[in-house]
Amino acid sequence: MKIQVQIPPKLIPVFAGKARYRGSYGGRGSAKTRTFATMLAIKGMMLAEAGKTGVLVCGREFMNSLSDSSMAEVKAAIKSLPWLERFYDIGEKYIRTRDGRISFVFIGLRHNLESIKSKSKIHILWIDEAETISEIAWGKITPTVREEESEIWVTWNPEREESATHLRFRSKPADYPKIIEMNYNDNPWFPKVLEEERLRDLSERPEQYGHVWHGEFKTVVEGAYFAPNILKAREEGRISVVAADPLMTVRAVWDIGGTGQKADACAIWIVQYVGLQVRVLKYYEAVGQELCVHVAWLRHNGFEEALMVLPHDGRTNDKVHDVSYESELIKAGFKVKIIPNQGAGAAMMRVEATRKLFGSIWFDESSTKDGLKALGWYHEKRCSVRNIGLGPNHDWSSHGSDAFGYMAIDHADRPVKATKIIYNTGYIT
């Protein structure tokens, strides 16, 4: 049987010939999801016609019900081609070829990862919205797809350079030649209604535009506390090259982490207060390391004379060794300042102090890149049922953002010297 199907020209090489991996990443409106759904259905038809039996598995990380799955996309793709629809038996909760040889299976990976191992004869595993799939999940998924000439397909909208999906499939492009970028301008059938939305985003949400429509990594999250502040800082040229003032005190402002694989990250901002400016010189973050590792970084970077600014728990003694960050840093030769416990609502107090100060802050772009990512991501956790805010979301971005908030509190708390303005008749303070 000879068939013809229209797909975006850029995706033709992805589906040509044999391959273990096929995939596409990019922004909204690229037609990648619909194209993969269509080609998966065609592949199911071809397998059945060849006398093969088995399953095509469609996975997403989260799937509480079939409405969260790729089923709707696959059904729509099949129904858009009458010759393909005639080949399938489509029910409310199933899709299979009419001869019963090939069936679709829809699965949520987060809570059902182990169940993939029980699936027999997986010819294709297609993971859509794959950005958040962990490296542990990828390690378990790959060997379960082991039929002769079986394939793994992957589609996603990129968010972070550090994501396991990016590191696995994009950091070495030559290893995956059939995984390509697709954006709205690669879709010859890009609809007018989406063009109107694209232009609206370009005008009203410029900080999100590159991520949504061009598949760029997220630099700020919609609704993030400091998204407009970071955007304005970029527009005003305050994220560039920043030099230290050799005459001014250097501060190392901490959010204290812990040791071990499951510990929170330790985050440190290196800053100076120079007149009305706050100069942000460096950002450091490490997970699960001993205090000596952080001290070694400070010394290696020439911050032996820096004032250590710690949150209130920096004074708390370890239950086993009866020492604190404060006592150990003093023992190492550093001067230490403790930010007092701010009590209830402390996190939002830091947010508001940071917002108030942001217009005076200058960042060294290259050495604070990871810290800026954290600030751009830091956002409110919301109750989906009542649609109310629950305070800052505690995730990977909160450690750097908390440390930055302590810096804003410290800045507001610093003693301000009186300024003398001299006139011919005298001076005032």
Q: Check whether 429 has a pLDDT greater than 80.
A: no
Q: What average pLDDT score do residues 322-344 get?
A: 91
Let me know if the fold of 9-192 is the same as that of 230-413.
Answer: no
CB 105 within 8 A of CB 66: no
What does the pLDDT read at residue 350? 95
| Separation between Cα atoms, residue 376 and residue 231, nearest integer Å | 9
What is the token pair recorded at 391? 């305070």
Q: Where are the domains of the chain?
A: 9-192, 230-413
pLDDT band at 385 (very low <50, low <70, confident <90, very high): low
| Separation between Cα atoms, residue 251 and residue 245, nearest integer Å | 12
Q: Mean pLDDT, the chain, as a whole number?
A: 88
User: CA torsion sign, 61 to 63 to 68 to 74?
Assistant: positive
**What length is written for the chain?**
429
The model's pLDDT over 272-327, given as tens digits with 9 standing for 90+, comes to: 999 999 999 999 999 889 999 999 999 999 999 999 999 998 887 654 445 789 99
| Separation between Cα atoms, residue 373 and residue 378, nearest integer Å | 9
Tell me how far the alpha carbon of residue 358 is from its chain's centroid: 23
Q: pTM above 0.85?
A: no
Domain 230-413 has CATH 3.10.180.10: no
What does the pLDDT read at residue 259? 65
To 10 degrees, the CA torsion angle through 301, 306, 310, 316? 90
| Separation between Cα atoms, residue 364 and residue 242, nearest integer Å | 5
The percentage of residues in the chain with a pLDDT greater than 90, rounded to a whole number, is 65
Looking at per-residue pLDDT, the higher value among 417 and 398 belongs to 398
CB 7 within 8 A of CB 137: no
| Separation between Cα atoms, residue 91 and residue 88, nearest integer Å | 10
The model's pLDDT over 210-248, given as tens digits with 9 standing for 90+, comes to: 899 999 988 777 678 998 899 889 889 999 999 999 999
Strand 307-310: give its sheet, edge to edge.
239-240, 361-364, 277-287, 265-274, 251-255, 307-310, 335-338
What does the pLDDT read at residue 391? 81
Please tell me the CATH code under which domain 9-192 is placed.
Answer: 3.40.50.300
What does the pLDDT read at residue 428? 36
Q: Check whether 15 has a pLDDT greater than 90.
A: yes
